Chains A and B, each alone.
Chain A
Amino acid sequence: MALAVVVFLALIALVLFLIGRISGRRGDRAVALGFVGPTLLLVAVGLVYPALRTILQSFQQADGSGFVGLDNYQFIFTNSDQLTVLRNTALWVVVTPFVATGIGLVYAVLIDRARVEAFAKALIFLPMAISFVGASIIWKFVYEFRPEQGNIQQIGLLNQVLVWLGFSPQQFLVNAPWNTLFLIAVMIWVQAGFAMTVLSAAIKAIPDDIIEAARLDGVSGVGLFRHITVPSIRPALVVVLTTIGIATLKVFDIVRTMTGGQFDTNVVANEFYTQAFRADQGGIGAALAVVLFALVVPIVAYNIRQLRASEAR
């Protein structure tokens, strides 16, 4: 291992040294190639090749011995459990980015230039520092269920609140489809801080004279928010929405840690792992990966177009 690292670094050093020896106009090109070349090579080996192989594998049998046409895709789009997986993924993607961004936006506006702004920001930003697995474990305790019998005490916060209010404790993670929403809450809890940070910076970048002019025209409160703030930070909003959207499509850790995909909470990324590695259904796993890839591409494309558009302005 250590030897491999040394050889790799020595190779890079050699390449850089050789590039350094070339000068003049040809040197510029060589330097560019020297820096971009290895990256392109790594992208080809680490991204393009596996992607092509995965696509190929998605048309093959589990052990890769023969082609089965579209059977794997047909399975994903007809099997009732797989349809639940797709339904859940759709629910995640529809709910998470908008709610997380919405909370982040409202929060950013409310605390903007407030006296406790720094503290309030830190408060909502803290969950960002926690890994999804850590966040899931925390929330598992929040949702923890103890039966209503004898002298058994609730240890889950949410159920204790229910008991205080006179309701009976619930098994939050068991009853579909609500359990998916309780999982989504974890993602929102983590991502709202990210949305708030980016949007808060964007809000601060709105030139004061625009707001001043709007105020002179008699716009204030909600009107100012709707007609000035939101349009002004639209590019930032798009970036936040799409970033959280992509992260949501890939969600894996939360589902795996909290329910393991049981009780109808499975999503594509987790099902892909299960099929590919535990069930030894490589073909179906690859097909699920391709589906996930196909879902992410439009969001990424839209994101890039918006970035270009905002830069061109």
Chain B
Amino acid sequence: MGSRTNRPAALAAGVLGLSLVLTACGSDNGGDDTASGGSGGGSGADCSAYEQYTQDFPGIDGKTVSVYTSIVTPEDQPHLDSYAAFEECTGVDVQYEGDKAFEAQVLVRAKAGNAPDIAYVPQPGLLQQLVATGAAVPAPEQTAANVDEFFGEDWKGYGSVDGQFYAAPLGANVKSFVWYSPSEFEDSGYEVPTTLDELKSLTDQMVADGKVPWCAGIASGEATGWPVTDWMEDMMLRLNGPEVYDQWVNHEIPFNGPESTAALDAVGEYLKNPEYVNGGYGDVTTIATTTFQDGGLPIIDGACSLHRQAGFYAANWPEGTEVAEDGDVFAFYLPGQTAEDRPVLGGGEFVLAFDDRPEVQAFQTFLSSDTWANEKAIATPQGGWVSANSGLEVDNLVSPIDQLSAEILQDPNAVFRFDGSDQMPGAVGADAFWKQATNWITGQSTQETVDKIEAAWPAS
């Protein structure tokens, strides 16, 4: 009997010992991340630009702000660097967490009561879902004042839900670009088109010259199909104008109405035309299996000449490719119906807070300032980052494509519209639209495609 009573006691001792070992291994690994920054002009920085934060938000020294975002290595380092001066001057510690599964996880975390202090939300549609959970808090007045000063009305609107302002814009990108090879254009005597008709005749000219002008790739893991949605949004904006575009995004006109059907058909004239695509990859259906990262690469080998993709595609060119107006590759603005109208499709992230502690509000306000925008531009020596912040000095951007993007974003004549699928409800914008667009590339008719997307729209 003795042995029986002793066994649990021995087990208990063992468990205790194990727990001691575990504690030793799991010693706190927080903090210290800030030391890795520094190249962003942090050390010994002039703190005068940051005094307002310690004044407006007293007692923030030594506090911590957690940031949750979809921006992961290597793009996260410039972000970390751009906080260095703020952290040093205010004493606030920013805990940065990048996660590729951000879009799915942030909702789970918000619903489960485990929200971060701040999330960088890349879609207004997701922003609305997050606000609907009740976990998000409106932006402080200092942030709102910054946004009024540095951003257009439209950008403020994308960060608002039901008239209440929640989130300031962070980064931005321009999607209405067509990548091309400047040297090929020069050698063949092609001109950068200024209207949609010119784009069409340029394409036909290329076919006549024995080329397969366009290349495209829409494979992107579970998000396969999204590049088609960008194409369609660009065409929607060009053929029907910004007002109809807004109605379409907000489902005030049906997805299978004549306007959007015409827009998708206009995309089909390019992407589903076997003479136009898919340079370097094969027939039309290869668009569905070519990754979006590989999509434009045949331009370098001369296998195709044109590739419609956002400015951030600059990061996908192989090392050593010169991205400049007189370099190996560059992009021109995807033209409108006339040379005068300049509709611009773009995207960006928004800074949504789930707590209103002073240090969170201070950091939120800092991110909406011109100080941060320029700090971030300087901390991004590789390029690939732009903001719609009007206080951003274009000269602080290193890459020509970023400078072009910033000029387009700050152009008063440009009509900016946010990526439509990013504003639609998740069931459409992050599911049906992608899926049906992929089916459309592999053979489904335009009518069936728009009908199925319309059917996926949530009832409420």
Contacts and interface: CB of A to CB of B under 8 A. Distances in A.
A39 to B, nearest CB: 15
Nearest to B425: A280
Contact of A277 (B28, B108, B425, B432): B108
A6 B108 contact: no
B282 A13 contact: no
B26 A262 contact: no
Given A274-B222, A277-B107, A12 B289 contact: no
A120 interface: no
A150 B16 CA distance: 68
B403 interface: no
A262 B434 CA distance: 9
Contacts of A171: 285-286, 289
A76 B224 CA distance: 23
A254 B418 CA distance: 34
Contact of A174 (B104, B431, B435, B442): B442
Nearest to B438: A262
Interface residues of B, number: 52
Given A2-B28, A279-B430, A145 B22 contact: no
A281 B458 contact: yes
Contacts of B164: none
B26 A2 contact: yes
A62 B425 CA distance: 12
A17 B7 CA distance: 10
Contact of B8 (A20, A79, A173): A20
Nearest to A276: B104
Contact of A13 (B15, B28, B132): B15
Contacts of A31: 4, 8
B8 A34 contact: yes
Contacts of B431: 274-275, 278-279
A60 B22 CA distance: 42
Contacts of B19: 5-6, 9-10, 13
Nearest to A152: B280
B188 interface: no
Contacts of B1: 23
A235 interface: no
A14 B132 CA distance: 44
A20 B288 contact: no
B107 A12 contact: no
Contacts of B289: 145, 171, 173-174
B288 A2 contact: no
Interface in B128-178: 129, 132
A279 B427 contact: yes
B438 A16 contact: no
Interface in A154-197: 171, 173-174
Given A277-B104, A281-B458, A262 B16 contact: no
The B contact surface, by secondary structure, is: helix
Interface string B221-247: 111110000000000000000000000
Contacts of B132: 63
Given A27-B5, A278-B431, A279-B426, A9 B438 contact: no
Contacts of B225: 262
Nearest to B15: A13
B8 A262 contact: no
B256 to A, nearest CB: 15
Interface range on chain A (Cβ under 8 Å from partner)? 35 or more
B9 A20 contact: yes
Interface string B88-115: 0000000000000001100110000000
Contact of B11 (A6, A16, A81): A16
Contacts of B48: none
Contacts of B7: 20
A299 interface: no
A147 interface: yes
A264 B288 CA distance: 13
A91 to B, nearest CB: 19
A262 B224 contact: yes
Contacts of B211: none
Nearest to B279: A149
A142 to B, nearest CB: 14
A261 B26 contact: no
Interface string A103-114: 000000000000
A79 B19 CA distance: 52
Contacts of A173: 289
A148 B23 contact: no
B6 interface: yes
Contacts of A147: 281-283, 286
Given A5-B26, A148-B282, A16 B8 contact: yes
11 contacts: A5-B23, A17-B12, A21-B5, A62-B460, A145-B286, A174-B285, A174-B288, A260-B224, A278-B103, A278-B222, A279-B427
Interface of A: 1-2, 5-6, 9-10, 12-14, 16-17, 19-21, 23, 27, 31, 34, 61-63, 79-81, 145-150, 171, 173-174, 256, 260-264, 274-275, 277-281
Interface of B: 1, 4-9, 11-13, 15-16, 18-19, 22-23, 26-28, 103-104, 107-108, 129, 132, 221-225, 281-283, 285-286, 288-289, 303, 425-427, 430-432, 435, 438-439, 442, 452, 455, 458, 460
Given A2-B23, A81-B452, 5 more contacts: A17-B9, A20-B7, A260-B221, A277-B104, A280-B129
Top 6 nearest A-B pairs by Cβ distance?
A147-B282, A9-B19, A2-B26, A20-B8, A277-B104, A280-B426
